[in-house]
Amino acid sequence: MKAAAFACQLDNLISNKSILENLKNELKNLQDQRQMVKQNLSWDSKEYQTQSSWLKKVDEIVGQVNAFLNYNEGKSTCTNFLRRNKVGKQSRKMLLDISQLHEEGQNHLAGITEKDHKDPKSRTDTIQDIMEALKDPRIPTVGVWGLGGVGTTSLAKQVGRQAKEQDLFNEVVVITVTEKPKVEQVQGAIASELGVQFHGETHVQRRNRLRQRIKKEEKILVIIDDIWGELNPQEFDLEEFGVPSSDEHGGCKLLLTSGNLNFIRSLKGAPKAKVFRLEELLEKEAQSLFEKMVGGVAQDPEWLKLEIEILKSCAGSASSIFAMAKALRNKGLDAWKEALVQLKENVSPIKLCCNSLENEELKSLLLLLTIRGRRPINRYSIYIDMWNGLFKNLETADTARNRRDSLISDLKAYGLLVEDGKEYVKIDDFIWHTAYSMAQNDLQASMISREWPPEDLLKGIRFCNINIVNGLQIPEKLQCPNLQHLLISRNNPSIHVPDSFFEETKLLQVLDFVGFDCSELPVSFVSLKNLEALSMYCCNLGDISKVGELTNLRMFGLLGSSIQQLPAQIGLLQKLLFLDLRDTHLQVIPANVLSNLTSLEELYLRNSFCNWENEVSTNVNKNASLKELTNLDHLAYIEDLYVPDPRAWPVELFFGKLKSYTIFIGDKWGGTHDGDHGLKTLKLKLNRRFQSEDGIKKMLESVDVLYLDELNGVQNILNDLDCDGFPHLQSLFIQNNAEIKCITTGSSHDPLDAFPNLESLSLNNLSNLEHICHGHPLTEKSFFKLRVIKVQNCIAMGCLFSKSMIKGLPHLANMEVSECKSIKAIVLVEGAENPFIEFPDMCSLTLRGLPALISFCLSEGSSSTDTTTLFHDKVLCPNLENMVISQVSESTTIWHEEYDVENSFWKLKNVNITECKKLRTVFPVNLSKIFII
DSSP secondary structure, 516-546, as one string: -EEEE--GGGGG-TT--EEEEES-EEEE-GG
Nearest to 475 by CA among 548, 535, 511, 459: 459
More confident residue, 280 or 74: 280
- pLDDT in the model for residue 395: 85
Residue 819 has pLDDT above 90, yes or no: yes
pLDDT surpasses 50 at 3: no
Q: Check residue 31 and give its pLDDT.
A: 77
Helix (H) or strand (E) holding 187: helix 183-194
Average pLDDT estimate for 37-63 = 67
Residue that wins the pLDDT comparison between 482 and 909: 482
Three-state DSSP class for residue 712: coil
pLDDT of residue 556: 96
Cα gap 915→598, rounded to integer Å: 62
Would you call 784 helix, strand, or coil by DSSP?
coil
Range of weakest confidence among 623-627, 741-745, 772-776, 878-882: 772-776
472-500 confidence digits (pLDDT tens): 788 999 999 999 999 999 877 778 899 99
Check pLDDT > 80 for residue 615. Answer: no
799-802 sheet: strands from edge to edge: 799-802, 825-829, 855-859
pLDDT of residue 115: 35
Task: Kindly report which listed range (70-84, 123-137, 249-263) carries the lowest average pLDDT score.
Answer: 70-84
pLDDT of residue 91: 81
Residue type, 762: S
Residue 43 has pLDDT above 60, yes or no: no
pLDDT for 923 equals: 77
pLDDT at 274: 86
Q: DSSP characters for 12-76?
A: HHHTHHHHHHHHHHHHHHHHHHHHHHHHT--TTSTTHHHHHHHHHHHHHHHHHHHHHHHHHTT-T
Question: CB neighbours (10 Å) of residue 400?
Answer: 24
Confidence of residue 52 (pLDDT cuts 50, 70, 90): low
- Weakest mean pLDDT among 69-83, 428-442, 851-865: 69-83
User: So what's the pLDDT on residue 67?
Assistant: 65
Looking at residue 629, what DSSP letter applies? G
pLDDT score recorded for residue 81: 55
**Alpha carbon distance 46, 771 (integer Å):** 50
Q: State the chain's mean pLDDT as an integer.
A: 83
pLDDT at 933: 42
Strand 377-378, strand 424-427: pairing:
antiparallel
**Nearest-angstrom CA–CA distance, 842 and 815:** 8
Output the pLDDT for position 113. Answer: 40
Contact 149, 317 (CB under 8 A): yes
What local confidence, expressed as pLDDT, does residue 117 receive? 39
Contact 924, 59 (CB under 8 A): no
- For 351, phi then psi, to 5°, come to -65, -40
| Nearest-angstrom CA–CA distance, 27 and 168 | 29
Q: What is the pLDDT at residue 682?
A: 93
Residues contacting residue 126 through CB under 8 Å, at least 6 positions apart: 144, 155, 276, 278, 279
Confidence check: pLDDT of 462 > 60: yes
State pTM to two decimals: 0.73
Looking only at the bridges linking them, the beta strands covering 837-838 and 771-775 are unpaired
Percentage of the chain lying above the pLDDT 70 cut: 87
Alpha carbon distance, N-terminus to C-terminus of the chain: 28
pLDDT range class, residue 74, cuts 50, 70, 90: low
Q: 3-state class of 882 per DSSP?
A: strand
- Which amino acid would we find at residue 598? T
Confidence of residue 57 (pLDDT cuts 50, 70, 90): confident
> b/e map of 487-496 (b: 16 or more CB within 10 Å)?
bbbbeeeebe
Distance CA 157, CA 155 (A): 5
Strands 274-277 and 141-145: parallel
Residue 663 predicted with pLDDT over 50: yes
